[in-house]
Structure 1
Amino acid sequence: MPHEEKTPASISVAVRAADPVSLQGAEILLGRSQGTTLLPVDRSAHADVVLVLANEVTEETLSWMEEASVLSANPGMRIVLVADRISRPRLARAVRHGLVSVLPRKQTGFPEILQAVLMSRAGGAQMPRELLRCLVEELRTLLRDPTAPILPGGFEGREVDVLRLLAEGLDTTEIAAKLNYSERTIKNIIFAVTRRLNLRNRTHAVAYAMRVGAL
């Protein structure tokens, strides 16, 4: 599919979708719409908006958003999500990665999606009432618990503590002793990080944490 060069007035959009039919449909419609420029995959880091289409937000869906946030060369990049289900913890993590609008998939047509995309660059946001309540509750939880700060890359406080000590060359036994955890707990924390963020191993986890500014 040919891609037109971005004009000053247009909003560049990259699309990620859980199924190829949705992806192709969104790309065709965005490519034909005034005010938007569809970016190919190899230029998605320059997108003004990343449009994510999914039935349910899974860890894979979150990894798309996190990747878009980490790799973006555009400090104003925003994410518009079209999905039917997203849990409260995943919603909070998605917002950290740049999510500004959530549209219910079964009740949303392309005109509403296009409007959300166009509004997002101007600071607009759109979210169902129940999801706004979830965000408020998540914020209250974070404010009550000073040990669970919002950190870059979606890391929790104790995960950063473990990765920092790994970066200093300590092994799991030494980290457990230093943090007053069991060695099994340390291993579980490392496993959870690598699995949630789709990282290959401990070294990859430390490198990633450094890259996103968590260390």
Structure 2
Amino acid sequence: MTNKEKTPASVSIAVRAADPVSLQGVEVLLRRSEGMTVLAAEQATGADVVLVLANEVTEVVMSWMEAASAMSANPGMRIVLVADRISKPRLARAVRYGLVSILPRAQSGFAEILQAVLNSRAGGAQMPGELLRSVIEELRALLRDTTGSALPGGFESREIEVLRLLADGLDTTEIAAKLNYSERTIKNIIFAVTRRLNLRNRTHAVAYAIRIGAL
């Protein structure tokens, strides 16, 4: 019996873009590319790769990546970002959400984007050296609070802020206004905490944080 050449596994991909023209154009090109399966919005939770296109990474764009991380049913999900501007703190947060590759939008054509998608699916990463150094520095800082000790229970500083305000009796709308985030971002933070720590709900999350001394 002769050995048959293996067919590469299809890469399922969800696309988010700041403008509909970019979204439609990239989706058309991806559908024409061998081995690519473009998922509809309602199927995005199963994506292998989430491709995000934006000129500047705003808090809205960050909420896309945060939601992709929080709602993903695929533990191997990776994010590829094509953007011209992203701040260092947002870059560090994006890495925690699953970002593995970032390409400068003004200098990247579809061929480069497609290669980054394939590389990320295969476990690769692509990031300019200066940005990579920034990520490492920011991540080190995020592992410490202002006293230099590790945050209790492995909570992130933003999670502690949200849980503290929940403990004070604020609802998600009030917390969003106080922290200058969208209400969806606040809900995603709460969802991420409860899922990661296997907690039943936000009340359980607050009680747990109080019990371990995080609040």
- Structure 1 contact 149–156 (Cα < 8 Å) conserved: no
SS at match of 2:15: strand
Runs of 4+ with >6 A deviation: none
Per-residue Cα deviation, 1:166-204 (whole angstroms, up to 9, x for no partner)? 2xxx547xxxxxxxxxxxxxxx976444x42x21798x5
- Structure 2 contact 45–74 (Cα < 8 Å) conserved: yes
Report matched runs for 1:23-102 at 5 Å.
23-102=23-102
Task: Tell me the distance in 2 between the aligned counterparts of 1:106 and 1:206.
Answer: 32
Task: Tell me the distance in 1 between the aligned counterparts of 2:137 and 2:189.
Answer: 31
Equivalent AA in structure 1 for residue 196 of structure 2: G
**How far apart are residue 66 of structure 1 and its match?**
0.6
**How far apart are residue 206 of structure 1 and its match?**
8.3
Per-residue Cα deviation, 1:132-159 (whole angstroms, up to 9, x for no partner)? 111122133235533558967x653641
Task: Give the length in aligned residue pairs.
Answer: 187
Task: Tell me the distance in 1 between the aligned counterparts of 2:133 and 2:142.
Answer: 14
- Structure 1 contact 102–127 (Cα < 8 Å) conserved: yes
Equivalent AA in structure 2 for residue 146 of structure 1: S
- 2:183 equivalent in structure 1: 199
**How far apart are residue 211 of structure 1 and its match?**
3.8
**How far apart are residue 45 of structure 1 and its match?**
0.6
Equivalent AA in structure 2 for residue 81 of structure 1: L
Per-residue Cα deviation, 1:41-81 (whole angstroms, up to 9, x for no partner)? 11011100000000000000000001111111111000000
Task: Tell me the distance in 2 between the aligned counterparts of 1:201 and 1:24.
Answer: 26
1:128 aligns with 2:111: no
- Structure 2 contact 159–190 (Cα < 8 Å) conserved: no
- Structure 1 contact 142–149 (Cα < 8 Å) conserved: no
SS at match of 2:55: coil
SS at match of 1:52: strand
TM-score (norm 1): 0.75
Task: Tell me the distance in 2 between the aligned counterparts of 1:205 and 1:67.
Answer: 6
- Structure 2 contact 142–157 (Cα < 8 Å) conserved: no
Task: Tell me the distance in 2 between the aligned counterparts of 1:205 and 1:136.
Answer: 24
- 1:183 equivalent in structure 2: none
SS at match of 1:123: coil
Rate the CA distance shift 1:65–1:201 in 2: closer, same or farther, 3 A.
closer
**How far apart are residue 36 of structure 1 and its match?**
1.0
Rate the CA distance shift 1:68–1:161 in 2: closer, same or farther, 3 A.
closer
- Structure 1 contact 46–72 (Cα < 8 Å) conserved: yes
**How far apart are residue 8 of structure 1 and its match?**
7.2
- Structure 1 contact 13–50 (Cα < 8 Å) conserved: yes
SS at match of 1:54: strand
Of 158, 161, 167, 1:156 maps to 158
Rate the CA distance shift 1:211–1:151 in 2: closer, same or farther, 3 A.
same
Rate the CA distance shift 1:151–1:25 in 2: closer, same or farther, 3 A.
farther
